[in-house]
């Protein structure tokens, strides 16, 4: 070993000992592992035969199947739905089932519903307008809810059942054994709600011309999920957190007025009976049009249909295989356009139904947005497997297999704002995207809203930006700053059941979408993220994933330990706040500095004996020029050392630095995140450097980095593109540039 190297290592050892000696004087305190990078073994379910440690379904994974044969009739005059269904329940589990649980979601609207009673209500003792007074004090409660006429066995004999609000337990005469099926039937009816007046995820809208448009869902008693994780998922439906459902096959006949136009989940079996010859001709043309939508029913034809009401009826017959739910839309007011979409060589139909009140906005964008959504989601997940995707004009946003209801209504004169257009494009993209999450990747919406809303909102960003590169998505990291920097009393972790979350939208939609966007763009990179995300999607298509399955798959398919990210972003309400605490500048000198003298005194070193053998770093005092500054070439012992190096090693040496900066980074926020640093030089150039989140693994409060350069640095800026949702940018730059944090700016903007 060369003597210069030995001398250097000896000094490093001495300084390390000094640090250790100082630490040894502190009394250690016992504690559990609270490091932000600890593994998530304490919060994730233990892997087993049904769900593997890799995040994939295990060899013993099972799920039930439920098949429905339904006959439905709409009474347009009374706005009532009548139905009967024959249900075949396949027990694919390894368990004996003593009873079946059925969802009765319409019971949330029953007169004796407890849903309104769970909300706090204060009295406005000041004043009321006529409308608000009437709504609060005079309006009679809507008489909704299922009227169950019977529940019978396959042979027609009565079947024992009990209704508990939005759940119905069907009692079996004997336990249903593994591998067996059980067939039974239910008959029911209910009053359809006006979703404009009474709200709701489905219902009808009444127009001044005397016609209604119906968007119908949650209209039939449907089986709850029985799975390997929860057993029966029979949490009550309070109106917010959505649904957990089994896959199955549907055979559905829907009888409506003969002049209605109808679309629904599934493949239409009797199109020639339901369409005119001209409509059939146009539809065939649409199946070959991959560029522009084709009108099956034009606005002129729809307006003509509005003027009369048929007294006859027509039955539409649909079949759907391997879907988790069913919905339909019907009206004589509908315009109908469609076009084909090429999904990896297979044609899928993009369809829109809308009344004239939606134009010109809907005919310009709806079907094109449907097509774009199918294309972009398929790229990041799997090829869209169904035959069609339908967008229906309604004053809401809601999703079901192959069909969704979307808002976006221009002014009566047909004008609309850019904001309204963006809102409509966004909601159609989002609701059509739900075909992937959770209609196919069938997560439990009642428990984990973010698994469908958050993942969907993330992919929505990509689809929207493909449709319009200048689209304002509202789901980027910078968009979640006001929420994450807000009052902690009204913030919940993402991993919260949705019924008790204060700010539902930011919690279930924006924050998880922004988190995944960060993973893709900032932490993992697109190649790693996309492969892992696609792996998760394909592993769990037509199955029931849990959060643990998603977290584990993303790590399993990428070779990245992301436990720190899931724990921080999904299990806590911590926020990002990283700043530049201080910058020290140094120069080289051959004169001992005060710091060197103190170290020498501690170890009884005589620095005189090391003359011409040591390089000293002197700190530049602010506002002063360095004294006795030297360059590397001024130190003969250093140049001699370099000359002694083998040629191969010498060739790898870079130019000697002239400037030295020690930057101290602080982290007032609770989240560990990468440090994204932009370095500005005096010659006007800039350099970007990213330090992984693991830089905080030893000290999550403060870390330091040394920058050695041949150019003078004029500034450091953290997260210049707002990639990490940093809630306070006042500490993000040196020299300090920003005097107010981004959340305060947001509040000022709102006030203004």
| pLDDT at position 493 | 96
**Looking at the DSSP assignment, which residues form a beta bridge with residue 713?**
681
What is the C-alpha to C-alpha distance for residues 489 and 492, in angstroms, rounded to an integer? 8
Contact criterion met (CB below 8 Å) for 690 and 676: yes
Instruction: Give dist(CA 645, CA 497) in Å, integer.
Output: 64
Name residue, tokens 């911590």: 574
**What pLDDT is stored for residue 19 in this prediction?**
44
Question: Which fold is adopted by the domain 261-442?
Answer: Elastase; domain 1 (3.10.170)
Task: Please enumerate in sequence order all residues whose Cβ is within 8 A of that of 90, keeping only pairs 6 or more positions apart, or say none.
Answer: 64, 65, 66, 67, 181
pLDDT tens digits, one per residue of 386-413: 999 999 999 999 999 999 999 999 999 9
Which residue, 716, 742, 694, 696, is CA-closest to 523? 694
Facing residues of 311 across strands?
none
Contact 448, 235 (CB under 8 A): no
Q: What is the pLDDT of residues 370-385, one digit of tens each?
A: 999 999 999 999 999 9
Instruction: Report helix, strand or coil for 372.
Output: helix
pLDDT of residue 604: 92
CB 723 within 8 A of CB 710: no
pLDDT of res. 180: 98
Tell me how far apart the alpha carbons of residues 351 and 173 are, in angstroms, rounded to a whole number: 46
Walk across the sheet containing 65-75 and list its strands.
Answer: 147-153, 181-191, 80-90, 65-75, 248-257, 313-323, 267-268
Q: What is the dihedral of CA 165, 168, 171, 176, to 10 degrees?
A: -140
Contact 536, 545 (CB under 8 A): yes
- CATH 2.60.40.290 maps onto the chain at 61-112+139-199+219-246
Which pLDDT belongs to residue 25? 58
Yes or no: is domain 61-112+139-199+219-246 CATH 2.60.40.290? yes
What class is the 447-573 domain? mainly alpha
Sheet order of strands, 261-264 included: 203-206, 212-216, 328-331, 261-264
What is the C-alpha to C-alpha distance for residues 746 and 736, in angstroms, rounded to an integer?
A: 20
Q: Which strands form 733-734's sheet, in the order they lie side by side?
A: 686-691, 675-681, 713-718, 733-734
H/E stretch holding 513: helix 511-518
Low-confidence stretches of the chain (pLDDT < 70) are 1-26, 125, 138, 623, 737-752
Q: Locate CATH 1.10.390.10 in the chain.
A: 447-573
Comma-separated ranges of CATH 3.10.170 domains in the chain: 261-442
> In what helix (H) or strand (E) does residue 526 lie, and over which residues does it extend?
helix 526-539
* DSSP secondary structure letters along 29-71: -------TT--STTTSPPP-SSB-TTSSBPTT----EEEEEEE
Dihedral sign, CA of 174, 175, 178, 180? positive
Token digits of residue 133: 């007074």
In this structure, are strands 294-297 and 346-354 parallel, antiparallel, or unpaired?
Answer: unpaired
Of 710, 728, 632, 621, the C-alpha closest to 671 is 728
Confidence at residue 449, expressed as pLDDT on a 0 to 100 scale: 96
Structure tokens at 582: 């201080």
DSSP codes of every residue in 680-736: EETTS-EEEEEE-GGGGSS-SSEEEEEEEESS-EEEEEESTT--S-BS--TTSEES-
Specify the pLDDT at position 632: 86
How much of the chain is in helix, strand and coil states, percent to nearest 5?
A: 30, 30, 40
Write the burial class of residue 157 (CB in 10 Å: 0-12 exposed, 13-18 middle, 19+ buried). exposed
**Helix, strand, or coil here: 461?**
helix
In whole angstroms, what is the distance from residue 154 CA to residue 89 CA? 12
Tokens of 122: 């204060």
Q: What is the pLDDT of residues 639-655, one digit of tens each?
A: 888 889 998 888 888 88
pTM: 0.91
Query: Residue 98 is encoded by which pair of tokens?
Result: 């003593």
């Amino acid at each position: 070993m060369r003597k210069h190297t030995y001398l250097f290592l000896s000094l490093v050892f001495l300084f390390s000992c000094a640090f250790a000696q100082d630490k040894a004087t502190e009394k250690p305190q016992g504690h559990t592992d609270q490091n932000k990078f600890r593994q998530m073994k304490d919060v994730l379910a233990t892997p087993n035969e049904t769900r593997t440690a890799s995040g994939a379904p295990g060899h013993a994974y099972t799920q039930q199947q439920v098949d429905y044969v339904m006959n439905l009739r709409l009474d347009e005059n009374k706005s009532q739905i009548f139905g009967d269904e024959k249900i075949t329940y396949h027990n694919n589990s390894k368990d004996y089932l003593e009873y079946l649980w059925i969802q009765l979601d319409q019971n949330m609207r029953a007169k004796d519903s407890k849903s309104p009673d769970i909300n706090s209500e204060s009295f406005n003792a000041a004043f009321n307008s006529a409308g608000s007074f009437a709504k609060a004090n005079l309006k009679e409660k809507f008489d909704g809810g299922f009227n169950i006429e019977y529940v019978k066995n396959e042979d027609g004999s009565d079947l024992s059942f009990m209704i508990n609000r939005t759940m119905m337990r069907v009692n079996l005469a004997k336990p249903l054994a593994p591998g067996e099926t059980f067939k039974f039937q239910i008959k029911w009816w209910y009053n359809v709600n006006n979703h404009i007046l009474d709200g709701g995820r489905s219902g009808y809208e009444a127009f001044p011309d005397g016609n209604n448009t119906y968007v119908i869902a949650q209209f039939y008693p449907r089986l709850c999920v029985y799975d390997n994780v929860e057993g029966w998922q029979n949490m009550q439906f309070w109106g917010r957190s959505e649904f957990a459902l089994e896959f199955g096959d549907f055979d559905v006949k829907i009888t409506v007025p003969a002049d209605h136009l109808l679309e629904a989940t599934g493949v239409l079996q009797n199109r020639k009976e339901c369409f005119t010859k001209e409509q059939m001709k146009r539809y065939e043309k649409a199946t070959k049009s991959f560029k522009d939508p084709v009108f099956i029913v034009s606005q002129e034809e729809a307006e003509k249909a509005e003027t009369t009401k048929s007294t006859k009826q027509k039955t539409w017959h649909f079949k759907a295989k391997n879907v988790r739910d069913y919905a339909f839309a019907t009206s004589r007011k509908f315009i109908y356009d469609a076009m084909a979409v090429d999904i990896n060589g297979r044609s899928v139909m993009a369809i829109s139904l809308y009344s004239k009140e939606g134009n010109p906005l809907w005919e310009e964008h709806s079907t094109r947005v449907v097509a774009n959504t199918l294309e972009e989601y398929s790229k990041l997940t799997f090829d869209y497997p169904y035959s069609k995707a339908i967008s229906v004009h309604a004053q809401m946003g809601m999703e079901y297999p192959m069909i969704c209801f979307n808002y976006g209504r221009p002014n009566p004169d047909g004008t609309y704002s850019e904001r309204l257009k963006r809102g409509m494009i966004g909601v159609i993209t989002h609701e059509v995207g739900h075909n992937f999450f959770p209609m196919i990747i069938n997560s439990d919406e009642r428990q984990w809203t973010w698994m469908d809303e958050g993942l969907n909102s993330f992919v929505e960003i990509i689809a929207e930006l493909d449709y319009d590169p200048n689209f304002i998505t509202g789901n980027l990291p910078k968009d979640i700053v006001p929420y994450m920097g807000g009052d902690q009393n009204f913030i919940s972790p993402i991993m919260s059941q949705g019924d008790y979350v204060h700010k539902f939208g930011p919690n279930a939609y924006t924050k998880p979408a922004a988190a995944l966007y960060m993973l893709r763009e900032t932490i993992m990179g697109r190649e790693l993220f996309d492969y892992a995300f696609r792996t998760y999607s394909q592993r769990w298509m037509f199955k029931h994933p849990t959060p643990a399955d998603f977290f584990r798959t993303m790590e399993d398919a990428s070779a990245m330990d992301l436990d720190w990210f899931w724990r921080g972003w999904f299990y806590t309400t911590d926020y990002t706040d990283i700043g530049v605490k201080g910058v020290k500048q140094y120069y080289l000198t051959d004169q001992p500095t005060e710091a060197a003298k103190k170290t020498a005194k501690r170890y009884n070193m005589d620095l005189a004996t090391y003359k011409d053998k040591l390089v000293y770093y002197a700190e530049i005092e602010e506002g002063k020029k360095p004294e006795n500054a030297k360059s590397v070439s001024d130190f003969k012992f250093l140049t001699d050392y370099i000359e002694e190096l083998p040629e191969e090693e010498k060739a790898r040496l870079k130019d000697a630095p002239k400037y030295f900066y020690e930057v101290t980074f602080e982290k007032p926020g609770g989240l560990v995140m990468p440090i994204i640093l932009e370095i500005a030089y005096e010659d006007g150039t800039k350099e970007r450097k990213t330090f992984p989140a693991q830089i905080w693994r030893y000290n999550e409060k403060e870390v330091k980095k040394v920058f050695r350069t041949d150019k003078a640095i004029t500034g450091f800026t953290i997260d210049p593109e707002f990639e990490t949702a940093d809630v306070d940018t006042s500490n993000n730059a040196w020299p300090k540039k920003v005097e107010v944090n981004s959340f305060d700016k947001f509040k000022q903007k709102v006030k203004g």
